[in-house]
Amino acid sequence: MPAVTETIDTVASVTSGTYKYGFETEIEMEFAPKGLNEDIVRFISARKNEPEWLLAWRLKAFALWRTMEEPRWPAVKYPPIDYQDAYYYAAPVKKPGPKSLDEVDPELLRTYEKLGIPLREQAILAGVEGAGESPAEGRMPVAVDAVFDSVSVATTFKGRLEKEGIIFCSISEAVQHHPELVRQYLGSVVPQADNFFAALNSAVFTDGSFVYIPKGVRCPMELSTYFRINAKSTGQFERTLIIADEGATVSYLEGCTAPMRDENQLHAAVVELVALDDASIKYSTVQNWYPGDEDGKGGIYNFVTKRGACRGRRSKISWTQVETGSAITWKYPSCILQGDESVGEFYSVAITNNHQQADTGTKMIHLGRNTRSTIISKGISAGKGQNTYRGLVKIQPKASGARNFTQCDSLLIGDQCGAHTVPYIENRCMTAKVEHEATTSRIAEDQLFYCRQRGLSEEDAVGLIVNGFCREVLKELPMEFAVEAQKLLQISLEGSVG
């Protein structure tokens, strides 16, 4: 059944317009002192018991970062960030693996409960030994690597994945147990000097997920991470690295909610994907961080570098994102199509309401022959929101027969918001074919009236029309995520009409 037909269920379950996940968990924290300098970088590295090469790698990144400047080109406005006025390390105090849910910090469980995570999954998330080995009937198994603030609290379904030779763990664990893989691939897609935020992340990243799918293995379940930003003034510097070896296939889900908070929080993640010959990686995100209140106060600053390298022939990387949260979103999940006949895809829904600002899009870099890319971007602006699609399609001389199709649609709700489309196309190959389509529309009064005449409330009508507008993207999401995404679209736009 197409995901969109589920709209009614999700619409019905949404009743409150305030940010649903705004709560804060009180768990004993271990902090590094405030501020950022070489000692902090050393502290983080020591805390995580890292090998010398990684410390050197971090220090190099830190040195580079100090020479770099924050990018000014995005179409977003925010007050200057004081990088010295934040904590760069906070970890929940870790006890050895609990034997049952009774031993798990009840505060942590309450957090999961508020997030609507079922009890069985809570046990898995909290790392209860033996939990989660047999997936419930009729449900697609999902393995979860929970990032609770900076340290991965637990990784699930490990046993089943291990049988296939799949590595799915926190990047800290990977550094300890699979240093050769980390060393080979870390920074190989997003180098330390790539940009200001990537350099910062490289210096101070605390945790994130690591996935390795061996040759010829099709990952038997969706891999998933719940991100939570939880400690006051703690920047989140996730580092995720996913490698699909020859002929491997994996689908990875990243879902985010954050507690409500008054001050702005900086988030600068880096995600690197590597697909070798005939490998395929699907990376799906539903981002719902606190967007700030109706007056634009508070909210997360989300400066993310996500990039995938299709290194192998016929490899494929597909990004799907639903961006409803954050005060500021600066994010361009990209594909480097190096292998001949490799495929890159980008499906995006970005919503800005109230004072939210989003500058998001993708880069498709065609290097190999007969490489193909598809970009479908749906931007929705409401309130005083500003939504910019910024995309680059670059075709190098050797990429003969390369093809790109881009479609950028903008939907405006109200008359104080803005939608902007900034497509860059650089084609240096005569045999390449690049197509770009763009539309801007409003929710028409007759559409709203038609729905209301049939009995829908105005907000349900907007939700239905917006979900219809986003259908091409939502259908790319895994089923469970699609339902959550539709719910978020609805919540994000509450109060935007009338």
Partner 1 sequence: MLKIEGLTAEIDGKEILKGIDLEVPTGEIHAIMGPNGSGKSTLSYVLSGREGYEITGGAASFEGQDLLAMEPEERAAAGLFLAFQYPVELPGVGNANFLRTALNAQRRAKGEAELDAMQFLKLARERMRALSMPEDMLKRGVNVGFSGGEKKRNEVLQMALLKPRIAILDETDSGLDIDALKIVADGVNAMRGPDFSALVITHYQRLLDYIVPDRVHVLMGGRIVQSGGPELAQQLEASGYGSVRAA
User: Under the rule (CB under 8 A), what is the footprint of partner 1?
Assistant: 1-2, 4-5, 7-8, 11-12, 444-447, 449-458, 460, 464-465, 467-472
When the beta carbons of 270 and 493 are compared against partner 1, the nearer one is 493
Sequence-ordered list of residues with C-beta below 8 angstroms from that of 473, at least 6 positions apart, any chain:
320, 322, 347, 348, 349, 376, 378
Instruction: Please state the closest distance from residue 458 (CB atom) to partner 1, in A.
Output: 8
Instruction: Please state the closest distance from residue 13 (CB atom) to partner 1, in A.
Output: 12
Instruction: Please state the closest distance from residue 349 (CB atom) to partner 1, in A.
Output: 12
Instruction: Please state the closest distance from residue 438 (CB atom) to partner 1, in A.
Output: 16
Strands 29-31 and 90-92: antiparallel
When the beta carbons of 367 and 466 are compared against partner 1, the nearer one is 466
Please give the order of strands across the beta sheet that includes 142-148. 151-155, 142-148, 222-228, 249-257, 280-288, 316-323, 343-352, 372-381, 403-412, 433-442
When the beta carbons of 286 and 411 are compared against partner 1, the nearer one is 411
Q: 353: closest CA among 292, 308, 405?
A: 292
Q: 470: closest CA among 456, 485, 480, 459?
A: 485
Rounded to 5°, angle at Cα 412 from 407 and 413: 150
Instruction: Please state the closest distance from residue 411 (CB atom) to partner 1, in A.
Output: 11
Instruction: Please state the closest distance from residue 110 (CB atom) to partner 1, in A.
Output: 31
Strands 386-395 and 418-427: parallel
When the beta carbons of 341 and 459 are compared against partner 1, the nearer one is 459
| Residue 357 tokens, joined | 């600002």
HSE at residue 458, side-chain half, CA atoms within 13 A, is 10
- How distant is the alpha carbon of residue 469 from its chain centre? 21
d(C-alpha 82, C-alpha 475), whole Å: 40
Please check whether residue 443 is in contact with residue 434, taking contact to mean a CB–CB distance below 8 angstroms: no
Q: 364: closest CA among 387, 398, 390?
A: 390
Instruction: Please state the closest distance from residue 288 (CB atom) to partner 1, in A.
Output: 22
Instruction: Please state the closest distance from residue 406 (CB atom) to partner 1, in A.
Output: 19
When the beta carbons of 167 and 465 are compared against partner 1, the nearer one is 465
When the beta carbons of 52 and 415 are compared against partner 1, the nearer one is 415
Please check whether residue 43 is in contact with residue 185, taking contact to mean a CB–CB distance below 8 angstroms: no
When the beta carbons of 53 and 450 are compared against partner 1, the nearer one is 450
Q: 486: closest CA among 227, 282, 286, 251?
A: 286
When the beta carbons of 6 and 70 are compared against partner 1, the nearer one is 6
